[in-house]
Every structure is written in C-alpha cells, then in structure tokens.
Structure 1
C-alpha cells in the first residue's frame, strides 16, 4: 500500500482537522493494510503500517529514530507538516508541502523501513547534483526494535545492474543482478523455475532505481531485510502469509560456495558464540511480547554483553534471556528443552536476572 494523506474525507484519510490517536487506525480502501500506532514492549510506541489480517506483520515504521513514550501519542497535520506528539515531545515526520494545492502531500513509499513492497523504489535520485539521495531498506535492530539495524539493502552505486546488502561495518555482498535481461537473486535455484519477482531497472540522467511487481501466482509479494542479516521472501495467497528466509551466501543460481555475509564479530569480551545444552531456564511470570524465533532470540542475547544464556521456547514463541553467572546457571538448569550458553561467560558470583520477551 502506498499510504497517502489528502483532503478528501474517507476511512483511509487523515485531514488537517483530524487527529489520529492510539486507539484509532486508518484502513486502506481494499482492507489489506492498516495504519496507526503500535507498541513494541522492548523499545516503545511507533507509528506504522501493518497487515489488517496480521497486525504483528509491520511493513513500515514512521518514527524509527524517536520512539514515542506511551499511548498518549497522536498524529495530526499542522501547517503542512505531519506532526507526532506525546506527553513529553513534539516530532515532525516530514515537511509535507502545500496541503491546500496538492492531492498527495507525502508517501510512505518515499521512506521505506525494513520492507520492500511492490511499487517501491530502491535507488539513487537527484543524480548529477549536490543533493543526491539514496533510497534504501534498513533492517530493524532486532525482532522487537524498529530502530535502524546492521543491514542495508540498496542498489549498488558502483554497478547499477546489481542489488547489494551492506553490513554495519561496511562489508558488502552482491545479492541480485541482471543476467542478460533476467533479474536473479544469488539464492535462486537453477531448475528452470521463473523469477516470481518482476524487477525492472529504470535510469536516466536524474535517477536510477529498481522496482518490482508481484507475480500473478500470489495476491502479494514483498521482501524484508531481516535483523539477523537474512533476506526474507514473503508471499500472500488467499489471505495467508508465507515466508522463506535466505542466508546471504555467494554462488549464483542457488549455489553456495560457503562465502556468506556473517554477523559483525562480537564486541563482547566473552565472544558471541553459544554452546547448546539440554535443559530449561527457570520459569517466570512475565508475558511474551510477540512471536520471536530462535535466530532473533540469539541476536538479542548476542548484542547484549551482559546476557549469559538464552532459550527459545518454540511452541510458545517466547525468548528467555538470562543475566548472571554461568556457574549459578548450571546449578539451576533442569527439565526438558534446550538452552544456549555464551562461551566464556563469567563464572563468578553475579545475581541472576531473568527476562522473557
């Protein structure tokens, strides 16, 4: 959905006389997308767009750099600006231009977050000027934190026929390219199957960008730059969402020569590797903050040097993090399941802390 604001009254419209509050949403004309505020318990309140059928599947976030404090948040149009407020601050999302004379004053497609939807543009704009603008897709910091993460999907400025992913430390991997007239990803197989994404490269003296349209085999298709560094292919068919997560490994046409884009090496003195052990972490009364898989759970523990161990309870989509000494942990591990302990974790006396996400 290319969400827009105009001056005509409708359920998908916000006018200068309206205010959008925490318990209100705008719904796209087809009913597929919903726009409003959502709560990530780990990091704060955000303005975003999600699938009406699956509110946990967020495709766009408007305030990734300044999470709102709480449900006091509201959105309104003031003097041509989109303004977000809560009880502590005022933030302007974008200078929206002349509201009175333009039917579309701003588009969410012009400011992607971690999701590339059909019709979005990934590329470089205002070429041959001093104000070049690169439109990219940035991963979230973690499964539950929409802040900018370590990975960026973008057109390759050194070769416009390629798409690349940059890691936070500048390491780059080409993940898609034009093969004669066909656009191919490095993880595609070579059994003759067609590319479901109809990518096209458009360029002139002012801009160069990729865009794509969905295959007729699906209701909708989109790509997500995952916080773990994987690229997720997503499909909607008859209202159900399916996802395939691809590690970014070199070797075109489905090959894998072992050269992959790994996570940034751990900056923790005890390293970023974990050892598997049978058992369960002690139970806690804290509730789950939403569906979260084992890779995201590991990332949450890996980037926090105080985290000694983690466990991902698959049937409940719960991530448990343990803060404390390895020695104490080994005394209380019991029951079925698997836990993952950081190699080289401290073994001295540290008061244990448990956290459930």
Structure 2
C-alpha cells in the first residue's frame, strides 16, 4: 500500500477525533505504535499518536500528545519537531517502538531510519514499559517502578499542571519552552521561554536572542499563590502556583482545583505566554492572562533608569527613578520612553549615599553575590565600589542573595509590597543619609486608607464588626466571592453587610484599597452604598448597606424565586443598571470602568431596585482616555468583551458588552 495515502486517511481520522486501534495507556516491547492507533491515558484526558498538523501537507506526520475528547485538536507535546516523517524520507509508515534498551524510537518501517529517540543511557530489562499518565506525561518505567525518562522533562511549547518550570538544577540541563513556528508548523519557532542562563534567578521570554519580557529575580524561597477565576455562574477555577527551592533544583509549578476545566500554559507562535482554559460552553480555549500583555510587561519599556509604576490607578505609567529626569522631555510627554532617564546630579564617587526604594522589580543585568553575605556586607561592598550604582538583598531562602549593579538600570518596575519584590538601594548624589526619610515609602503609606477625615465614611473597629456579625458565624454568612466572605449583621441599630477579605489573598489587598478609594467618591441611587471600613492588621473589611433581596442572580436563576420578577420589575432593573452605568462612565467626577458587571454584582433592595456593587476590579480613566491595557485579566467569562479576554484591552465599551449580556439574561431568564 502507498503509505502516503494511508497517512492522508490517518490525518482525516485524527482531525475528526475518531481514533481506532488500541486504546491502552502503555507501550511494551514488541508491540509498536503505528499511524491510526493511539495510546489513551487512564481517564481519557490525553492521547499519544501520530498526527498531521497541516491539512495542506497531510503526508507530514509527527508523533505527539494532545488533549483527548475536545473538538479543537490541541497538541501539548511533539517528539519529532524538527524531523517530520514525510513521503520523501520514508517509503513505509513510521512506527514508535519501545526497544529492549528501554528507549522509545521513532523510525520508518522500511530501512529503520530514526527520526527521534529518547536518551535512556543504561540498558534496562525488557520488561520496561512506556505509559501515558493521566497528567499528559509520557514516561518510561523500569520493572521495579523506577522512572527512566519523562516527556515533562522535555517540554515543547506547553506547560501542563504538575510540570516543573525549572529555574536551576544540579542534575540536568534546563530546557526552554520553544514556540511552534506557525499555527500548523510544530517545528521550533523564534520565541522561547525559560531561565536566564547567566544568573539562574529570572525567567525570560525571548525573540531569538532579544528579551521580550522578564520576571522579577527569584527570591529563592518557597512561595504559593492562588488565582481564582469565575468561568460561569456555577463554575469557578482556582490555579495554585508554587515556587520551590531545594538542594537539587529550583522550579515553579502549578495545579488546579478539583474538577477544574482543562488548562495549560502555552508559548504561542506569536510570542505570548498564555494561560488557557477550555471553555466547554463555547468549545474554545479562553485566555485567562498572558505575557507580555501590555506596555509595562515589555522588556525595558521605560528605558534606562525609568520604571513602570504598576501600583497607581488607573493606568500604570513610566516614571524616572528618584534623582533622575527624562532624557528627552518631548519624547517622554508624547509617551515615547525608550530613551529613559538621566541623573539630575552626577555622582561624586564613594561618598554618595543610598536611597531605599521598597516594592521594586529589580533591574536586569545585575551581578550576583551570595556566599556568606549579609545585608550589611552587601551594602558595604557596594559602597566601597565607586562604580556600584545600586544593590538589593534578600535572605528568604536557604542562601542569602545580594544583587549589585554597576551599569544602567534597565527593566525596572514598582509592584508594591509583595514577597517577590525587592528593596532597591539606589546611589544618589547629595542624599541626606542621616534623615532616614524615604519619600516613596511615605507616599505609599498615604495612599492606603487610614481613617483620616478626607474620606467620606468612617473607620470602624474590628471588635465592633465582630460583635455585629456574632464573631463572623456561619449562620450570619450570606455570600462568598473570590476574595472573601460576606456576612449580615447589625451595627448601631442598622442592618449591614460586611465583606471580609481573606487574609492570605494578595490580590485582595489591591482590590480592597481600590474599592475604598473609589466608592468613597461615588454617590448614586443605583450604586451600592459603602458605610464604613476596617483595616486593622491583616483584617480588611468593607461595610455596606444591607439589601434584603441579595444579588440579581439569586432571584433570576432560581426557579423558586424568578416569579418575583415580572416584566415591569425586569424592565426597571435594566433601566436602573443602565443609569448606574451611565453615572460611572459620564456623570461622576471620574470615568470609571467597572470590569466585572454581571448578575452576581447587581444587588436588589426591598423594592427590587438594582444597585451595582463590587468595585474591586474597577479602573479610573483619565480625561480623553479611550482605552487601556492590563496584564491581569479579571472578570467573569461570558460577560467579558472579546478584545478584553484576548488582548487585555478594556474601555467603557467593555462594560457595555457586559451590560448587553446582562440584559439578555434578564429578558430570557437564562
């Protein structure tokens, strides 16, 4: 049989997801895998087999692993990326064989030409097996259970839950993730993602040899973070990220909450590192976030000695470090920052002092000093070196870390208080070291609500709120969101709703500050009224007016309550939400984009009048500003505008899109 015709037939079957042949999860010696047959993981989530990435050249076959049972053929790993099996290279169909030396070998069926093989160095017994695990990891396992090789150690363009994103390792080389060359070409592309080979402390996206985006230098500690996304009214996905450092290796990894939808990190052929989740409703991959997603996540966007301030609302902007000014004022005013900043006053030498800048993303191109160091020694070494312009120190891991800079400070940012950020000590001329003042830190403290008289509602003590909610008893809990729980209580004879943010929610602190500062300046009958707040220690609480009919979705989608919404009430709810939205967009003192308008964030009072709530995700627009970008895609899928989901671009139109979805839900009841 002409195997090119066979390959064409196999391709058609693969693309319509009608695999035939074996459905076992393993390969054993003497039973090779041929085109048309697949190995399916236990549970059925992944398949291993031959596929053709392009319908235009169906004779080109690759061996790969893909998500099984979804309508879009999505490959997560490819063996022979650089050497596809073609009609010109093989006269017979290829096979994947597990040899007696415990290696997987992809070869043709004619003269034994090898297109790809694993690298198990020590021969094992013939009882070794290759197994496709339920995680999507293809492993070779010896008879005694020892793992000899795994595809997770040899990634292509995708990270799956449970994979290790290596930062450093004593035992093996660190592989970069490399993009496909095109949408139908799995050969290695120009974009790569991986660890900085010089310092082993930071991770880059590269375009060839040019850096595209850079992480903060790793602090070397075990860190965990949690990201929660509302996919639908009833479906939530939580992503748990971990950074781990031990004696053998340092790596990042992630896992998903139980029952979560299929997810992956992928470096696209266009150079975007995306977190993708399979949306079963739309039968498509939804992008939860990506890098680089906007200007501030591009490498060196603010130029030398410039930094991107991501702590300011509404839009992160480029600024010059203290003691510096724009190198070209006209360019800077026009939003062209590549030339960066220069010193206002030249350094005089080793007599100059250092200014502490907390919460910073440390610049690139540092010199690493670690052995036996301390903060005092790090500072002293930089002080004695008259060429040293800055230093940073961390002692959160097993080994102290001292970073020093002797050249331009590039790709700096301000991220705010976080375990992943540094205090950057910047050498400046004429600094009064004895004052102990830090202008940036003082400014940051003033931005956080402290109960002062400039706010239009009172600070309430934690003890009073605890008493009002019966010590936050479960009986008083009336709701739960992504950043905490909501309780009903009575304070001063008035019924209240208390939103208590989770103590371990790093995102929650940002949304708390945002909501307090925003809603203090908003007054409208169709916006929920904030009565007070509390910010003692780790506690962050917001006190709202209590609305007895809860959120709109609790009535609209409840068969036992939806009869309360006759057509007149539904129309009034639509009008009320529209009036509140118009106030936010046009009539308030600021142009405000809500970014999470949905039925769950519309509350109903006793007469079923609507009030827009939850301004934690909201952003303020400057005068004449039409749109903005963000690297944090927040909101609820199904309500979010396509340009926001895919590119991070949002504007008043984003809220209008969400409002349109909400209107459809109110009218149809679905």
- The normalised TM-score by structure 1 is 0.58
How far apart are residue 49 of structure 1 and its match? Answer: 0.7
Kindly indicate whether residue 138 of structure 2 is the aligned counterpart of residue 84 of structure 1: no
Contact 1:124 1:133 in 2 (8 A): no
Contact 2:62 2:78 in 1 (8 A): yes
Kindly indicate whether residue 166 of structure 2 is the aligned counterpart of residue 123 of structure 1: yes
Gaps of 5+ in 1: 1-8, 186-193, 261-357
- Report what 2:276 is aligned to: 234
The CA distance in 1 between the partners of 2:205 and 2:188, in whole Å, is: 14
Given candidates 95, 107, 111, the residue that maps to 2:154 is 111
How far apart are residue 77 of structure 1 and its match? Answer: 1.1
How far apart are residue 259 of structure 1 and its match? Answer: 9.4
- Report what 2:86 is aligned to: 69
- Report what 1:208 is aligned to: 250
Assess, with a 3 A threshold, how the Cα gap between structure 1 residues 220 and 156 changes in structure 2: closer, same or farther. farther
Assess, with a 3 A threshold, how the Cα gap between structure 1 residues 182 and 109 changes in structure 2: closer, same or farther. closer
- Report what 2:532 is aligned to: none
Given candidates 61, 70, 91, the residue that maps to 1:45 is 61
- Report what 2:38 is aligned to: 25
Higher relative contact order (CA 8 A, sep 6+): 1
Contact 2:79 2:116 in 1 (8 A): no
Render the CA deviation track for 1:165-208: whole Å, top value 9, x for unaligned: 122133242157779956699xxxxxxxx994322111223211
Given candidates 186, 189, 201, the residue that maps to 1:146 is 186
How large is the Cα RMSD of the aligned pairs? 3.6
Query: Larger radius of gyration, structure 1 or 2?
Result: 2
After TM superposition, which residue ranges in structure 1, 4 or more long, deviate above 6 angstroms? 176-180, 256-260
Higher strand fraction (1 or 2): 1
Higher helix fraction (1 or 2): 2
Render the CA deviation track for 1:220-242: whole Å, top value 9, x for unaligned: 32111001111222113558443
- Report what 1:246 is aligned to: 290
- Report what 2:174 is aligned to: 134
Assess, with a 3 A threshold, how the Cα gap between structure 1 residues 17 and 182 changes in structure 2: closer, same or farther. closer
The alignment covers a number of residue pairs equal to 241
Gaps of 5+ in 2: 1-21, 129-141, 228-235, 298-309, 319-334, 338-670
How far apart are residue 164 of structure 1 and its match? Answer: 1.9
Secondary structure, in 3 states, of the residue corresponding to 1:95? coil
The CA distance in 2 between the partners of 1:51 and 1:126, in whole Å, is: 29
Assess, with a 3 A threshold, how the Cα gap between structure 1 residues 201 and 161 changes in structure 2: closer, same or farther. farther
What are the equivalent positions in structure 2 for 1:251-266 lying under 5 Å apart? 251=296, 255=316
How far apart are residue 155 of structure 1 and its match? Answer: 3.1
The CA distance in 2 between the partners of 1:176 and 1:120, in whole Å, is: 21
What are the equivalent positions in structure 2 for 1:319-338 lying under 5 Å apart? none
Given candidates 17, 20, 24, the residue that maps to 1:11 is 24
- Report what 1:3 is aligned to: none
